Chain A
Amino acid sequence: MVHLAHLLMKNYHGGHVAIRMALGGCANRPFFRIVAAYNKRARDSKYLEQVGCYDPLPNSHNEKLVGLNIERIKHWIGCGAHVTKPVEKLLGLSGFFPLHPMTITNAERLRKRRALKAIAASEEETPVTCWCGFTESKARRDNYDNLV
């Protein structure tokens, strides 16, 4: 049999397959398709295969729906596909991958920021001065461990 399909397809030099999100939907209503495509292709253009979907807006039961075709994702990763960060984070949340380090880092950063804000809100005006003349609030001084 004569194989002509590969000659007709576009040849990429040094490209690879990526599992990434393609944006669709309407104005003020995004919807992502998780897609295996060549990484040189435009974000929404022709892909090799659709491998899932993600709806970023929560539904009436307060859930964000994510569909993942695990069998095909495994196949593409087996073929050497790269996975982009948002998809990696989603897969980490789902339990298919381990939790992404940035998810954990962002969670910790958020926690610290919230702690700071709580301290700032409950800051009493009782400045404490140390021997070198540096003044700060008592609450902040007591809560150094939570901030750092």
Chain B
Amino acid sequence: MAALGVPRWRCLWRRAAAPLGLRRPGRALLGSRGYGQDAGSEADKEKSDVTKPCFTDELVQRLLSKMTGLDLQKIFRPIKQELKPPTYKLMTEKQLAEATRKAIKEAKELLKMPPVLSEREPIDDVLAEDRILEGTETVKYVFTDITYSTPHRERFIVVREPSGVLRKATWEERDRMIQVYFPREGRKLVPPPIFKDENLMTVFREDRHEDVLNLCIAQFEPDSANYIRVHHQTYEDIDKHAKYDLLRSTRHFGGMVWYLVNRKKTDGLLINMIQRNL
């Protein structure tokens, strides 16, 4: 699922990075990176940077991936798959080293962090007003351009209201239509009820934050309100109960640290990391 998602997000990253502008971190940042643990450099980053670092900066990404850790046992733990009997291979030391290296490379691929974008602006664009048509229809018409080669972000999706107004479709309508005509694996037309606030509480009590976040990534676009809301609530809950280890070696760790750093709630996390001697 991560492999499927990565190319799309890479192009989203490029689009996200372009308007924000990849800012080079200041000299003070580069100086502080040399010494101390990551806990120390994090605090320095906050005090001494003049330009606000982006999530997509290389330096930020490196720091975050270092903090995420690489626990192979946790990453490659058995996921629900078809039942097949385990295969045993006889390998020499060299082959084992080779296999471990490949596993580490694949693990790094799986640990690619999903993008963190700001919430998207609502679309509010009227293309034409034909008041003559008012009252002829009781139903909206939704026209989607199903040309295969256009990227989904640039697709034309317009709505003709019963009042005769021709407007661009809202983000929710756009997501729904694109899912109808170009269905994506793991995404449902109607978001499952797990993302409602009451149900999220139940899931958090069972410590299944990672599953919720994976489902969220599959279901929503990274800059939609629902995605951001679910992620923020998950991070808040983890911070409240100090359950940082749940996300320790997953691809959501970086996003959580970024969120906590931006809101200056890093105390619990720093204590946790010092206790584990990271």
Contacts and interface: CB of A to CB of B under 8 A. Distances in A.
A134 to B, nearest CB: 32
A104 B132 contact: yes
B139 A58 contact: yes
B175 to A, nearest CB: 13
Interface in B93-136: 127-128, 130, 132-136
Interface string A47-58: 000001000001
Given A69-B146, A71-B147, A107-B133, A95 B158 contact: yes
B144 interface: yes
Interface string B21-55: 00000000000000000000000000000000000
Given A52-B146, A95-B128, A103-B133, A70 B141 contact: no
A62 B132 CA distance: 21
A66 B143 contact: yes
Give the bracket for the number of chain A residues in contact with chain B.
Answer: 20 to 34
Interface string A95-111: 10001000110111011
Contacts of A66: 141-144
B139 A70 contact: no
B174 to A, nearest CB: 13
A146 to B, nearest CB: 15
Contacts of B138: 62
Contacts of A61: 140, 176
Interface of B: 127-128, 130, 132-136, 138-149, 156, 158-160, 166, 176-177, 180-181
